[in-house]
Amino acid sequence: MKTHQPTRGRLAPSPTGAQHVGNARTYLIAWLSARSKGGRVLLRMEDIDSPRIKPGAAEQAVDDLRWLGLDWDEGPIVQTERLPLYEQALDTLQQQELVYPCTCTRADVERAASAPHQEHEGPVYPGTCAYRRAADADSLGDQAFAWRFRVPDEPITFHDAFRGPMTLNPRDLSGDFVVWKSAGTPAYQLAVVVDDALLGITEVVRGDDLIPSTPRQLLLYRALGYAPPTFAHVPMVVGPDGRRLAKRHGDTRLASLRAAGVKPETLVGLFAWSCGWLERVEPITTQELLPRFRLDTIPPRPFVLETDLLRKIGYR
């Protein structure tokens, strides 16, 4: 008899900058999805991208989430405190010859004639160093290298809880991808798989810009012997020009909204209206929103953050 596995969701901000309205909408959906099932929520700080980490950004993210009305049962769990776990995973991949040392720079890959560019994904790796075996790292001396995962040329199919069945071929999206950087730190794809697996995460709700990451992560789950979570990729918040939120769209940082006197219930109400849970923009708390949550009412298109919507919540 199959036993029901309790839901464990997560919020995973990256302290590479301030959290903005687009981040907040996705966090709210992820939180509601787990809490509506009576599940637990973990908070994880994805801080392994050390050159881009901003001082104080992690503490600011915690304040922003609490201001919004989100809570968690475990954490903050900090990735830079978990490096031995990622090293163990890399060792497992090396023993299986599923990774190889790559000395190519990004410029090398971009110059390769057979490296077409994918939007947001960069060039497809042409396999220049794929002839190497894991043990060849010992002969590279002081030469800098990263570890790349050997991607089979096969489609990966998974069921997205929001979008339904999806099939993608990671070889077409990125080719062999980096799991360990030349700087000696784990890449996002490896760290997130190890963390979600070892922390018992059962569902991952995130922005649809990460859809191309999913087949790569599923390959890592399989290689490391982990059971994958369910995935739900929800539409992002974009500016009036249809592009993802950025400085060009003005200041949409949560800290700025707070400083301007915007009430969190008003912002939550805007998100609830955008997801089809309210008929109009009106204040509502995260707890009051719980019984209204439905993943299938969220429009499949991006949410366009027009200036008049910000005025509706008392900002600008």
pLDDT digits (tens, 9 = 90+) for 122-133: 789 999 999 999
Report the pLDDT value the prediction gives residue 4, as an integer from 0 to 100: 67
Tokens found for residue 148: 């790349």
pTM above 0.85, yes or no: yes
Interhelix angle for 188-198 vs 213-224, to 10°? 60
Burial group, residue 250, by CB count within 10 angstroms (0-12, 13-18, 19+): middle
Report the pLDDT value the prediction gives residue 121, as an integer from 0 to 100: 61
Report the pLDDT value the prediction gives residue 63, as an integer from 0 to 100: 94
Is 156 in contact with 167 (CB distance < 8 Å)? yes
Report the pLDDT value the prediction gives residue 117, as an integer from 0 to 100: 47
Name the residues annotated as catalytic.
247
- Segments of the chain with pLDDT less than 70: 1-4, 113-121, 249
Count CB atoms within 10 A of the CB of residue 24: 25
How far is residue 238 from each of residues 22, 241, 245, 248, 307, measured CA to CA in Å? 8, 8, 5, 11, 12
Report the pLDDT value the prediction gives residue 244, as an integer from 0 to 100: 82
Interhelix angle for 21-35 vs 264-274, to 10°? 80
Look at residues 53, 42, 48, 57 and name the one whose alpha carbon lies nearest to residue 81: 48
Report the pLDDT value the prediction gives residue 200, as an integer from 0 to 100: 97
Report the pLDDT value the prediction gives residue 1, as an integer from 0 to 100: 43
Count CB atoms within 10 A of the CB of residue 22: 22
Report the pLDDT value the prediction gives residue 2, as an integer from 0 to 100: 46
